[in-house]
Every structure is written in structure tokens, then in C-alpha cells.
Structure 1
Amino acid sequence: PEGVQTPFKGCHGRRISACRFFSSRVLSRSSDLRRWIQRGLVIYICFFKGADEDLVPKIVNVLLNVKLSEDENGEYVSVLDLPGNVLIIPQATLGGKLKGRKMQYHTNIEKEKGMELYSQFVSLCEKELAANPKCMEAGVLVKHGTYGNRQVLKLDTNGPYTHLVEF
């Protein structure tokens, strides 16, 4: 958006990191709620100032259809074609900018607006997986962390295999 400074050229309000994995779990420090999924995709997401609802469907479409996972034949397929689970983690630190010896987060969106966009993102991911016949048959899940809370995360990955995607 015009007049909005973003940390990287070409970034227009959203930064997403995605990695494939074999199992993952997240534990919120504010509760004993654990979210556990098997093979699939972990999405870390951060919204910058100027982000809006119009781009969320595009982000969901790209992330769920990008070919990052290997099937049993070693071919790269999307998480929808695998089919695999999705774990979504709100990750405000992706919006950090190094200034001297400290990180600053002045480009991150306001907490309330970020929570709205995050909720929309999670809901749309859930709808897309529920509408996919392969995912329905396999019983895949969308799990997500809690926006604005500190969380503990454990991943067992087949990699390192992490990608940064900016919209």
C-alpha cells in the first residue's frame, strides 16, 4: 500500500514462512491446550501495517496449492494433494527489523486487526481443506496457535525445508 514502509522490497503487508514436516505440536503457555498434527505443512504468518482482508484468499490459495511435499513416489505435491494436515502459527517476530543490536516490530499490524486477519486466514484454510475430497477422505486437520500469546512449538521435520513467501 502507498505510504507504508515494509522491511523488504516487494512485501505488501504479509510475510509467511512455510515448511513441510512429519509431526508437529504446539502448546500454549497460557493453558494446557495442545495441538498435535502429523505429516503436512506448518505455516508461520505475520501481518504488517496496511494488510487487509482482500489478499487473504490469495494467500490461502497459494500456500495450500504450492508443491512443497513429497508423495510416496518422491514427486512434489501440494498439501491438498498429499493430503496433509496444516498447522498455522501466528509469528509476529517475522516482522522484526534489526536496529543496532535490538529487534524492532514497528511495521507489524495493530494487534486487533492482526487477530481479525489471522482468524479469517484460519477459517479459510479450514474451509478449503473441508471442501477437498482427498482431505475429507483422509481426515486431515487444520490446527492453529493462539494469536497474541507466547507458545511452545516442537517440530520433527524432513529437512531443513523452510520457505519465506511474501505477498
Structure 2
Amino acid sequence: MPIRVILQGISQASLLVDNDEKYVHCGRGVLVYVAFLKPDKDTGGITDEDVARAVHTLLETNIFTHFNPEKMVARAQSLAECPKVDIMIVPQASLGGKINKKGHSVQFHHLVSKDIGEALYERFCHHFRVARGINEEVVDANGVSLNAAEEGLCTTESNKPEKWVKYDGRVVSGTFGNRQGLFIESDGPFTHTFDL
């Protein structure tokens, strides 16, 4: 299973995207940590179809019950059923770590190379945005509206927006290879790990 993800339910989140001062924000929804692992020798590399299938699975699987704070539901819902919740995607190479045989350190030999990982990450984010109907011509590389500064969805030198962020179907993402300074608020540990 070459695509490893952790999904965490969030009330809102802020993510550092430029290693310096630019934060992007999202409201209620899901935080998706993702890493791309080297596939078995018999299966070949990760294809764009594999990435698209993984995104489809994440969107269609009934996972969370907390998406709508106005009316909690008893049954799990999929992201496809809740198109207005936000999705924040964070590249997370540490998901590919493995403790060495002596148990003294962590090794990352199972990750794809950085250039392949970056290309797969960009495709992963792209497939999420396309599936959610986001016009990629009106968002930047992190999925933030080009008018985000006026909307309060992109700030500098602050990890928190000035007001509570209302969810609105955004798909924002971190920058591959950068430090991912992350601040989240959550109603609970609604967290799931999957290998896709």
C-alpha cells in the first residue's frame, strides 16, 4: 500500500506554507496528512490512477460524524456527502518512518524520492480540488483563493485568523518540502490511519 494517510477531524486549522510568515486557514472539516511510500517491487510505481483512486476512496468512505455542528448525525458521513466542509492537506514524510532493527533510530528508506513525492503530492491535491469542483485558476499553489487576504483566509506573522473561519468547501494544502507549522482546534481525536 504505497499511499499512507492520517485523517483528523478539525474545527479549524492554520498552516504555515512558506517557512516564514504566510499561514493559510480553513474551517470545520478534515486534516489529511499524506506520505508516498515505495511500492513493492512486484507492483511498480505509484501512478496518477493510484492517486486518483486514493482520493476517490477518501471522499466516498463514510468516516466522520462531526461535520455539521448544527446537527450531529448518528451515522458516519463521507466527505462527498458534506461538500461544504474544508479539507487541509499536509505532506508528512514522517508517516514513512520505520524503527531500525536495533531500535535506536528511525529510518525513512520506505519513502519515494523527494522529486517523485512532490509530483505525487501535487497530483493528490489536484485530484481533491477537481473532485470538490474547485477552479484551480482562481487559487494559488496552496489552494487559497487569490482574494484570500481580503477574506481573512491567508495571514502573515500570525497562526490564527482574526475571526472564526467558516467552512466553505475549501481544499488548502501545505508546501511540499517546507516546515509545516500547524495549529489546529478539534472537538476530539477523530483520527483515522489508512494505507491506500
Three-state SS of the structure 2 residue aligned to 1:115 is helix
Distance in 1 separating the partners of 2:72 and 2:92? 33
**Are 1:29 and 1:152, in contact at CA under 8 Å, matched by a contact in 2?**
no
**What is residue 103 of structure 1 aligned with on the other side?**
106
SS at match of 1:151: coil
Q: Give the TM-score, by structure 1 length.
A: 0.83
Tell me whether 1:149 sits opposite 2:144 in the alignment. Answer: no
Structure 1 range deviating more: 105-114 or 152-161: 152-161
2:58 aligned residue:
63
- Mapping for residues 68-147 of structure 1, pairs under 5 Å: 68-70=63-65, 71=68, 72-75=71-74, 76-82=76-82, 83-99=84-100, 100-130=103-133, 139-147=168-176
Cα deviation code 1:103-142 (max 9, x no counterpart): 10001000001111100010110011117xxxxxx84100
Identity %: 27
Pairwise CA RMSD: 1.6
Q: More helix by proportion, 1 or 2?
A: 1
Query: Which of 21, 24, 27 in structure 1 is aligned with 2:10?
Result: 21
Structure scoring higher RCO (CA < 8 A, sep ≥ 6) equals 2
Letter in 2 for 1:20: G
Given the two structures, how large is their TM-score scaled by the length of structure 2? 0.71
| Aligned: 1:34 with 2:23 | yes
Structure 1 range deviating more: 108-117 or 22-31: 22-31
The runs of at least 4 consecutive aligned structure 1 residues that moved more than 6 Å come to none
Cα deviation, residue 29, structure 1: 5.6
Aligned to 1:52: 47
Higher strand share: 1
1:53 is displaced (CA, Å) by 2.0
Larger Cα-atom Rg: 2
Question: Relative to 1, partners in 2 of residues 1:89 and 1:37: Cα closer, same or farther, differing over 3 Å?
Answer: same
Q: Which runs of 5+ in 2 are unaligned?
A: 40-45, 135-166
Q: Distance in 1 between matches of 2:96 and 2:169?
A: 30
Q: Structure 1: where are the runs of 5+ without partners?
A: 1-11, 132-137
Q: Report the Cα distance in structure 2 between the residues aligned to 1:102 and 1:122, rounded to whole angstroms.
A: 31
Q: CA deviation at 1:47?
A: 0.2
CA distance in 1 between partners of 2:35 and 2:176 (Å): 10
